[in-house]
Amino acid sequence: MNLIKFALRRPISVMVLVLGLLFFGIKAAKDVKVDILPEMNLPVVYVAHSFNGYTPQQMEGYFTKMYVNMLLFTNGIKSIESKNTQGLTLMKVNFYEGTNMGEAIAQINALSTRSQVFLPPGAPPPFIIRFDSSSQPVGQLVFRSSTKTNNELQDIANFNARPFLIAIPGLTTAPPFGGSPRTIEVM
């Protein structure tokens, strides 16, 4: 009730207030930067290492423990979290705020290359990914078939779909994962 009386007694003041809100609202709407994926600057790096045929306990023993011991030589690490599943080790490396992430990733790359000597023979290098909005996938392409084998689906992903996707400007693709890679055992 008091607000209505104030507006009726001082119409010019209310009009100036409304015009000011309108002016500054339009100016703020024009100046605001709109980004679908804003820069988060999270000091987090993921290290994923896959090696088919190993149980979670073997992945922890052969990969995770070795990586944790090697990563302790990296500057600025706050904590390391790991998860081991069938044939996959996933480690989340948290850094302190203000850590130079380019330098941290370079150190992790160097240490992971150095640690290849201690891994089982034939182990591929790990995927090292900085966690930010620009490195996260905006989509995933999944292949499934009731008539084709896993090897045939992996060949389609590697030799048909991936070259097609790489040809699109501005699009980056990661190597396909999953399936069962071909191996030859000599006894």
**Quick one: pLDDT at residue 135?**
62
Q: What percent of the chain has pLDDT over 70?
A: 85
**Quick one: pLDDT at residue 1?**
60
**In the numeric block, which tokens belong to residue 95?**
């850094």
Measured in whole angstroms, how far is the alpha carbon of residue 178 from the centre of its chain? 18
Q: Are 107 and 74 in contact (CB under 8 A)?
A: yes
Q: Where are the domains of the chain?
A: 44-135, 137-187
**Quick one: pLDDT at residue 174?**
66
Rounded distance between C-alpha atoms, residue 179 and residue 148, angstroms: 12
Q: Any bridge partners for residue 48, and if so which?
A: 90, 127
Residue 37 has pLDDT above 70, yes or no: no
Q: Which residue has the higher pLDDT, 184 or 72?
A: 72
**Quick one: pLDDT at residue 22?**
92
**In the numeric block, which tokens belong to residue 22?**
């309108």
Q: Any bridge partners for residue 79, and if so which?
A: 94
DSSP state of 144: -
- The CATH code belonging to domain 44-135 is 3.30.70.1430
Residue 145 has pLDDT above 70, yes or no: yes
Q: What percent of the chain has pLDDT over 90?
A: 7
**Quick one: pLDDT at residue 36?**
65
| Residue 91, number of CB atoms within 10 A of its CB | 22
Instruction: Indicate the pTM of the whole model.
Output: 0.57
Mean pLDDT over residues 86-114, rounded?
A: 88
For residue 86, the SS3 value is coil
Q: How confident is the model at residue 181 (pLDDT cuts 50, 70, 90)?
A: low
